[in-house]
Amino acid sequence: MTPAHEAHRLFFEIGMRERARYGQELAALGLTFQLAHALRLVGDEPRSMKELAELLVCDASNVTGIADRLEARGLVERRPAEGDRRVKLLALTPAGDELREQVLAIMLEPPAAIRSLSRDDQVALRDILRRAVGD
């Protein structure tokens, strides 16, 4: 196994552990991972359903169901796009914005595996990952 393969395997392992943690904490908020991820991606600016589908890497028909569930909870609203009323934008409601902040707090909490590293190791890992993603 190459160092790149091993690094990827370890990175994947941490991600899967965190996804299990997210699942438990998000369930306490009444959200699935998919709904929370969509809520996170809607963000500060309204997004088209097509754009959200691309970001979620899913079919646009799946986004309709996600939007329906978020809208039923009063977390997003559909708005017509300026210039093309056929395009529907999803925008956070005040309740959605509040819940999104809780979702971000959960999803952006560093994994225990990373928190337990020394500060120097955390800085080195951050710097390596920045180079890897081209930041």
Q: Across the chain, what does the average pLDDT equal?
A: 92
Residue pLDDT, tens place only, 71-127: 999 999 999 888 888 888 999 999 999 999 999 999 999 999 999 999 999 999 999
- Nearest Cα to 63, choosing from 44, 90, 86? 90
Mean pLDDT of 31-41: 93
Q: What is the pLDDT of residue 135?
A: 65
pLDDT of residue 6 exceeding 80, the answer is yes
CATH of 3-133, one of 1.10.10.10, 2.40.50.100, 3.40.50.2300, 3.90.870.10: 1.10.10.10
User: Per-residue pLDDT for 45 more than 90?
Assistant: no
The CB-side HSE value for 53 (13 A sphere, CA atoms) comes to 13
The reported pTM is 0.83
| DSSP result, 31-89 | --HHHHHHHHHH-SS-EEHHHHHHHHTS-HHHHHHHHHHHHHTTSEEEEEETTEEEEEE
Cβ partners under 8 Å of residue 25, min gap 6: 106
Residue 102 class from Cβ within 10 Å (0-12 exposed, 13-18 middle, 19+ buried)? middle
Extents of the domains making up the chain: 3-133
